[in-house]
Structure 1
Amino acid sequence: MANQAEELKLKANEAFQANKNDEAIDLYSQAIALDEKNHVLFSNRSAAYTKLGKYEDALKDAEECITLKPDFTKGYSRKGAALSFLKRYDEAINVYEEGLKIDPSNQQLKTDLKTAQNDSKKPSASPFDFFSDPKFQSELMTNPKARELLKDPETAMLMKMMQEQPNNTALLQNPKLMQLIGIGLGFDIGMSDGADVKPERNTNSTPNKVNEQNSAEAEKEKGNEAYKKKDFEAALQHYDKASELDPKNMTYYTNKAAVHFEQKRWDECIKQCEQAIEVGRENKADYKLIAKAYARMGNVKAQEKDYEAAIKFYNTSLAEHRNPDILKKKQEVEKLLKEKEKTAYNNPELAEEEKKKGNEYFQKADYPNALKHYTEAIKRNSSDAKLYSNRAACYAKLMEFPSAVKDCEEGIKLDPTFLKCYLRKGHALVAMQDLGQAMSTYGKALEIDPYCQEAIDGQRQCSIKSNTDPDEIRKRAAADPEIQQILGDPSMRMILEQMQSDPQALRDHLQNPAIAQKIQKLIQSGIISTR
């Protein structure tokens, strides 16, 4: 159910970013029904309610968020915002101050607190106070024409300025703002030039805002320089200043997260990433930036060896933006998780019990059940070569010879001197009619034990079968690189041709040790037969 709730949350986040707030609220509500203890879901739904001007609902969700997780500062930010829109400024100020007690360095709370303090000092009597009226804002957000107008950054900025400066009548000279007022009050003022109501290019913010953004970028560059020099405290100071000047730019928060990552301050890194994502969502940041923040959270969890959480964050990052590097990291962590689970499952004592059960079933000729217990034994102790050997014997009885060969090879990797694995591999290869490989395998067994009768008999059997089967001889030659090299030597080809016309020439050539060794190899492999 938690996974299903997470999927719904991701869909809701996408709807929220696309300004489909009704849809986002519905999806968040579905997720809450599955995971009612998830504080983030209430925080996110509160934000969606705020966008729709449903401040009472936003306030309820923010309070529930704080109840579920009292140290989650974003909950205080949500509650303060709802109270501010309801013009309950004193309460909002108290909420922001409570949040700052938890995280005194939280720039978003500082900025919101300052705004609430300024709003509380504003004169209330103004003919345009309705801009801050939740009912008026709700009517705008539910009006299709108004929503279309507010997609234009300039119109949205003008509305915000009117909320902050209701006595600034100079703003009313802008025809876009007048048309928005007309729609909100129920009459259509229209555009003076008769143009369609469509989003236009942003004509940039006020000069003061631009200056602040430029100053913020300058601070960021200073922070970057300090970061490169590994002067992390100085870097943090510059990034803090940048986010104070321009709190709507999520990059400054992700940069702070990068510093905390280098300092191995994992909790702080996660906190900054979460804040970056919230700021990014609210200000429609590029999906790539959102993805980067999630990926950094994944990196933190990977460092903490919480691989499941790391994979979750990487998946979320990839859902935002498919980055090949992040995909590769995710795959690496998945391998680490698999190894971790494998190690956690390892238990030699239980493996021994399973092996005994497998032996009992094997003696009863109940090979499927024997196979099942040998397999479980290998899962419990994958470093025991005997277990692979036993399962290979089981596969052979079940006529699954390729699987028997594979298990023997695994056993040989673990213990290159384990004779039984070579013998069982040889038998399986003979059954598969791969006589060349079988003979080679028996040869390796004889290197371990020159007097092993089973290996001697196996090699003799292979030799008899090979010498009476020309196709097998050619097959073995094609599979043996050493034989191919001998047959590809022009001088050896000439010698072999001479031997066919003059068999007595063999004696002369055998006087040369190098040629004798090659001829002997061809005889052993069955390429040359002697009578």
Structure 2
Amino acid sequence: MTTVSDENKAQALAAKNQGNDLYKQRKFDEALACYEKAIELDPTDITFLNNKAAVYFEQGNYDEAIKQCEKAIEIGRENRADFKLIAKAYSRMASCYQRKEQYVDARTFFQKSLTEHRTPETLSKLSEVEKIIKEKERKEYIDPDKSLEEKNLGNEMFKKGDYPAAVKHYTEAIKRNPDDAKLYSNRAACYQKLTEFNLALKDCEECIRLDPNFVKGYIRKGYALLATKEFTKAQAAFQKALEIDENNKEAIDGYRRCCTSSTPEDMRKQAMADPEVQSILADPAMRMILEQMQNDPKSIT
């Protein structure tokens, strides 16, 4: 450990304070010279290196700022600096990587900063970077060709009456092409077969949001609402479908059912009487899947 005289420490502190004043005035070159003088006088103080890194950061010289942060951490460890100062160096490194759009590295160093000292500011920055990474991964995962493959597999499973498998394929298709309204409609059809009407309704809403003129979305929404006792809303959904296609038989039948005020219990009994549904519910493994889907819809993804 290097020993520094009190006189040198005092002169170094004065140089740092002068640099801080210049930094606030955005006179970065002059501030940098002051911080370098402070480091010369007292090479054991992590603060001077952190401040020097801050100047490079403001100048947009992120690679040099990172180098100074690495030196700051090294000097700080050697001289048992306050963990808050080491955390600050890690956080500034992370910010440099964020500016360079190297988000994985940014996440790593924000996390390292938090292991030294947790602050709301660093937590917020980490959260922001994690959102960027997640969205980037989501976009990179999009592949319309693979989405079509999964959709076709879902269609095959649907025709076979294997609705849980169809849901899984449609879910993967959605991940691969999240802006295809028909995929949500297809998955909603599976949920309706499985009497998971709330899940079907959510998919219908997303389908309609993506394509407000897709008549099938309104029809499936109407039937999901009928099953959840929302008769007025169901009637409005069928009415919207008829505005798009006034001769649509499914929409006409659904609208009439709203007018006759069939009870939800009757509708559920009718759904449960469907031989396909009865076959599924007779299988203990399928019942377990349905219970899992009801308790945690995300478990199927």
TM-score category of the 2 structures, normalised to the smaller one: 0.7 to 0.9
Closer, same or farther in 2 for the Cα pair 1:239/1:445, shift >3 Å?
same
Structure 2 CA distance for aligned equivalents of residues 343 and 314 of structure 1:
23
| Counterpart pick for 1:221 among 6, 12, 17 | 17
C-alpha displacement of 1:442: 2.0
Q: Which moved more, 1:223-232 or 1:405-414?
A: 223-232
CA RMSD of aligned residues (A): 2.0
* Pair 1:243 & 2:39 matched: yes
Structure 2 CA distance for aligned equivalents of residues 223 and 406 of structure 1:
58
Report the counterpart of residue 194 of structure 2 in structure 1.
398
State the AA in 1 paired with 2:176. Answer: R
Give CA deviations for 1:98-121 in whole Å, capped at 9, x if unaligned. xxxxxxxxxxxxxx8xxxxxxxxx
Report the counterpart of residue 293 of structure 2 in structure 1.
none
Give CA deviations for 1:126-145 in whole Å, capped at 9, x if unaligned. xxxxxxxxxxxxxxxxxxxx
| Counterpart pick for 1:283 among 60, 79, 82 | 79
Closer, same or farther in 2 for the Cα pair 1:447/1:220, shift >3 Å?
farther
Report the counterpart of residue 462 of structure 1 in structure 2.
258
Structure 2 CA distance for aligned equivalents of residues 425 and 432 of structure 1:
11
State the AA in 2 paired with 1:404. Answer: A
Task: Report 1:78-227 matches (<5 A).
Answer: 209-227=5-23
Report the counterpart of residue 445 of structure 1 in structure 2.
241
Structure 2 CA distance for aligned equivalents of residues 463 and 221 of structure 1:
80
C-alpha displacement of 1:421: 0.9
Task: Report 1:426-445 matches (<5 A).
Answer: 426-445=222-241
Structure 2 CA distance for aligned equivalents of residues 220 and 441 of structure 1:
69
C-alpha displacement of 1:343: 0.9
Report the counterpart of residue 62 of structure 2 in structure 1.
266
Report the counterpart of residue 47 of structure 1 in structure 2.
none
State the AA in 2 paired with 1:217. Answer: L
Report the counterpart of residue 302 of structure 1 in structure 2.
98
Report the counterpart of residue 330 of structure 1 in structure 2.
126
Report the counterpart of residue 411 of structure 1 in structure 2.
207
Q: Which moved more, 1:222-231 or 1:265-274?
A: 222-231
C-alpha displacement of 1:448: 3.1
Report the counterpart of residue 44 of structure 1 in structure 2.
none
C-alpha displacement of 1:257: 1.0
* Pair 1:421 & 2:253 matched: no
Structure 1 CA distance for aligned equivalents of residues 46 and 77 of structure 2:
9
C-alpha displacement of 1:367: 1.5
State the AA in 1 paired with 2:194. Answer: L
Give CA deviations for 1:181-201 in whole Å, capped at 9, x if unaligned. xxxxxxxxxxxxxxxxxxxxx
Closer, same or farther in 2 for the Cα pair 1:461/1:280, shift >3 Å?
same
Q: Secondary structure at the match of 1:465?
A: coil
Number of residues paired by the alignment?
264
Structure 1 CA distance for aligned equivalents of residues 44 and 101 of structure 2:
32
C-alpha displacement of 1:432: 2.1
Structure 2 CA distance for aligned equivalents of residues 366 and 213 of structure 1:
76
What TM-score do the two structures reach when normalised by structure 2? Answer: 0.82
Structure 1 CA distance for aligned equivalents of residues 102 and 54 of structure 2:
19
C-alpha displacement of 1:428: 1.2
Report the counterpart of residue 138 of structure 2 in structure 1.
342
* Pair 1:378 & 2:177 matched: no
Structure 2 CA distance for aligned equivalents of residues 339 and 367 of structure 1:
29
Structure 2, unaligned stretches of length 5 or more?
265-301
* Pair 1:364 & 2:164 matched: no
Structure 1 CA distance for aligned equivalents of residues 98 and 62 of structure 2:
11
C-alpha displacement of 1:410: 1.3
What TM-score do the two structures reach when normalised by structure 1? Answer: 0.47
C-alpha displacement of 1:454: 2.6
Structure 2 CA distance for aligned equivalents of residues 249 and 282 of structure 1:
10
Greater RCO, 1 or 2 (C-alpha within 8 Å, sep 6+): 2
Structure 1 CA distance for aligned equivalents of residues 245 and 26 of structure 2:
61
State the AA in 1 paired with 2:218. Answer: Y
Structure 1, unaligned stretches of length 5 or more?
1-50, 52-111, 113-159, 161-204, 470-531
C-alpha displacement of 1:347: 0.6
C-alpha displacement of 1:415: 1.5
C-alpha displacement of 1:214: 2.2
C-alpha displacement of 1:216: 1.5
C-alpha displacement of 1:306: 2.2
Give CA deviations for 1:252-305 in whole Å, capped at 9, x if unaligned. 111111111122222211111111111111222111111111111111122222
C-alpha displacement of 1:450: 4.1
Give CA deviations for 1:55-81 in whole Å, capped at 9, x if unaligned. xxxxxxxxxxxxxxxxxxxxxxxxxxx
Structure 2 CA distance for aligned equivalents of residues 354 and 229 of structure 1:
59
Structure 2 CA distance for aligned equivalents of residues 307 and 413 of structure 1:
31
Structure 1 CA distance for aligned equivalents of residues 186 and 251 of structure 2:
18
Structure 1 CA distance for aligned equivalents of residues 220 and 82 of structure 2:
61
* Pair 1:354 & 2:156 matched: no
Q: Secondary structure at the match of 1:230?
A: coil
Give CA deviations for 1:437-474 in whole Å, capped at 9, x if unaligned. 212322332343344443233223113217x89xxxxx
